[in-house]
Amino acid sequence: MTNSALTAGAVERHLRARRDAGRGLLMPYVTAGITPGWTGYLRAFAAAGADAIEVGLPFSDPTLDGVTIQQASQAALDRGASTRRILADLSGLPDLGVPLVVSTYYNLVLHDGPRAFCEALRRAGVSGLIVPDLPVHEADELTDVAAAAGIEPALLASPSTPRERLAEIARHSRGFVYAVSVMGTTGERTTLAASAAELTGRIRHVTDLPVLLGFGISTPDQAREARRHADGVVVGAAVMRRVLDGAGPDDLQSFLMTLRQALDQECDRPR
């Protein structure tokens, strides 16, 4: 096993404790800057029972994101959202009781440099980082400076990831491993991909980090099924579609509570 809990950071300690208590983990996503009062969504997510919150920095060319999050990113950019303004918004928040994990593309990390970027995250109260277009064989610099700043980078693993590469991803990841359920972009799907179970099983052979499954989790039934294989779920496009359709924080809190209930019911199910 890798990534011993003895050296765990804030994200890993938080998720491990909840996982080990038998809780299914829920990490909803929001595109930062999508609305004037976008941080209200973070409060709603925490109130709905989120175990961590993914905050996406809008980027003009989000290559791994599907139509919904592309539209959300463009809407945020059109409003004038920038990394500096978003981190200023986060630094003004009270403690939500759950870790914040920023997701972004490597171009935004390189803009100020990995060290300055990670230090800015720390000052804003962020604990984790996802960079989906950063391959593991090029991740050493970022993971080293992130560790020095107290930021935990979580790497992505997909159904096509070979065993040797999967072990490398596990060694470089902190906090959790992000399991991508399908080969493709983010987006809502009608069913959970059959590859999800096989992938999460392979990840568990190389690490004892929490495993969160994403890309396509849209309904309580899918969350319940995902929990049978992974420690929890990431919910992005299903959240952002509702935001783009005009849903406010209370609406999103109600939606996420249905997923929270589904995860809890799966945990309570006799084995």
DSSP result, 33-65? TSSTTTHHHHHHHHHTT-SSEEEEPP-S--TT-
DSSP-derived 3-state class of residue 103: strand
In the three-class reduction of DSSP (H, G, I as helix; E, B as strand; rest coil), residue 23 is classed as: coil
Active site residue 65: yes
Q: Is 248 helix (H, G, I), strand (E, B) or coil?
A: coil
Q: Considering only CA atoms, which of 19, 76, 75 is closest in space to residue 51?
A: 19
- Going from the C-alpha of 117 to that of each of 3, 16, 17, 124, 174, the distances in angstroms are 24, 26, 28, 11, 17
The reply to whether 168 belongs to the active site is no
Using CA atoms, how far apart are residues 163 and 196, in angstroms rounded to an integer? 15
DSSP E strand boundaries for the chain: 25-31, 53-56, 100-103, 128-130, 152-153, 156-157, 177-180, 211-214, 232-235
Q: Which residue type, as a one-letter code, is found at position 162?
A: P
Please list the residues that pair with 214 across neighbouring strands.
Answer: 180
Looking at 65, 89, 168, 188, which residue is catalytic?
Answer: 65
The active-site residue, picked from 54, 89, 152, 231, is: 54
| Residues with a known catalytic role | 54, 65
